[in-house]
Amino acid sequence: MEMITIKTKYLYLIVGKSGAGKSSVVKALCDRYRFTEVISFTDRKRRLNEGNTHIFTDTKTIESMKNDLVAFTSFSGNLYGVDINAIEQNDLYTIDLNGIKFFHSHYKGNKPYKIIYINTPESDCHMRMITRGDSHIDIAKRLANDKTAFKDADKIADYIVKNDFFGTCVDNIYKYICKCEGWITTKGSDVD
């Protein structure tokens, strides 16, 4: 029996510190609940064992597209961007705080959005970055940057979820999405 993909009325912007588990959470939501993910362009090099998380290209290509992008950011020396079609046709988008600022001012499309902040203990973020192969220098820079960048993240988020237990985090985000979409779930909810 083929599973039907249901489009959400909202776009859910998933934000969190480096190593917070954003990509893993989004992948689990897509695998379990048939959501679709916005795939961004980047000039970043593909990580070891990384799947189809981005459209990998070069800096010149992204720079030439910049005027047509509704989401754009530079993070850790790499460029990331998305066009309006990717936003309108998908449900979940992993984005950083600077990308959200750009998105607020450049997106004029039809899909309203909610911001979900994945709050993860720094020690967990550190271990995830080591596991995925980030260099010690990059890890130190990202952790230092995130302390400042995310100090007021709770003020822009529509929903904050802890990622100290992965399965619980994924379930709580799903329950929040169901609440926003007006869908009924059979499981109990920790969503306010």
118 forms bridges with which residues in the sheet?
Answer: 16, 161
Q: Could you read off the pLDDT tens digit of each residue along the chain, which spans 192 residues?
A: 455 566 899 999 999 999 999 989 999 999 999 999 999 999 998 877 777 778 999 999 999 998 889 998 887 789 999 999 999 999 999 988 888 888 999 999 889 999 999 999 989 999 999 988 889 999 999 999 898 889 888 899 999 999 989 999 999 999 999 999 999 765 554 555
**What domains sit in the chain, N to C, each tagged with a CATH number?**
11-181 (3.40.50.300)
pLDDT of residue 66: 87
CB-count burial class (<10 Å; 0-12, 13-18, 19+) for 96: buried
- Looking at residue 185, its pLDDT comes to 64
For residue 187, the model assigns a pLDDT of 55
**In this structure, what DSSP letter does residue 91 have?**
S
Spatial CB neighbours of 170, under 8 Å, sequence gap ≥ 6: 25, 28, 29, 32
Identify whether the C-beta of residue 9 lies closer than 8 Å to the C-beta of residue 112. Answer: yes
Tell me if 122 sits within 8 A of 16, measured CB to CB. Answer: no
* φ and ψ at residue 127, rounded to 5 degrees: -65, -40
Q: List, as own/partner pairs, every contact residues 166-171 make where C-beta atoms lie below 8 angstroms and the sequence separation is at least 24, other chains included.
A: 166/21, 166/24, 166/25, 166/28, 169/21, 169/25, 169/118, 170/25, 170/28, 170/29, 170/32
Residue 45 CB burial class (10 angstroms; 0-12, 13-18, ≥19): exposed
Given this model, what pLDDT does residue 76 score?
A: 77
